[in-house]
Amino acid sequence: MKVFNQLVFKADFTQDGKPNENQFSHQIGAHKWGNREEQYYTDSLDNAFIKDGKLHLVAKKETIHDTKYTSARLTTNGKHSWTYGRFEITAKLPKGKGSWPAIWMLPDQMRLYGWPKCGEIDIMEHVGKDQDMVHFSLHTKTYNHVKGTHRTAYDKFSQVSDTFHKYTMIWDENNIVFFVDDIQQASFQKEIKDTFDEWPFDQPFHLILNIAVGGTWGGTVDETMLPFEMVIEKIEIFQ
């Protein structure tokens, strides 16, 4: 596995208010995002803001355009993308059934290939109905969750909604490896026989941070637990 030590991206959480527009864009709308999700993503300060050196993403009960919930989905698409590297994100995850936070990546050429052929890297996913269970996954045309064949691993970690944990991915030409608090959790390798349909991970990908609400995996929403909040303390990327 290759070693990456040169810092090429560090999220700027130094100024209270809106996320840094030179680093992140908001994705806006209620498109159900392929998973029958129930939130409307906004660019409101109520849903995404920096305070005291941390990025806060908040999903709340709020009716907008016939949806019952609002949330935030931030992306570096069009601003920053990377092929290979070490990605470190320190985060505290939301708690409550119906919450579905994710720290993940999609390729810049997603529209050219379509999903899942384009590839998807899930550095961290968590659903509140299964508290403290963290998932690490890859999706491709051959291996994806629709077919039930995606390359995935998961395990429980203590108090992911009460304390900060560091979620790390190391990605090179032949490997994608996931860590929590510097302890390896899963490793996936490119096989000699793999084509683009099995391993589309040799192209630029951008980072996405979001909290989905409900949907095919998030499930029934426990509104007594709202708002759901994910707090990001640090994002650093090395190549």
Q: Which residues does the annotation mark as catalytic?
A: 120, 125
Q: Specify the long-range contacts of residues 168-171, CB closer than 8 Å, at least 24 apart.
A: 168/86, 168/87, 168/88, 168/89, 168/123, 169/86, 169/87, 169/121, 169/123, 169/136, 170/1, 170/2, 170/4, 170/85, 170/86, 170/87, 171/84, 171/85, 171/86, 171/87, 171/121, 171/201
Phi, psi of 185 (to 5 degrees): -115, -30
Kindly tell me the burial class for residue 12, based on how many C-beta atoms sit within 10 Å of its own C-beta (0-12, 13-18, 19 or more): middle
CA dist 199 and 57 (Å) reads 31
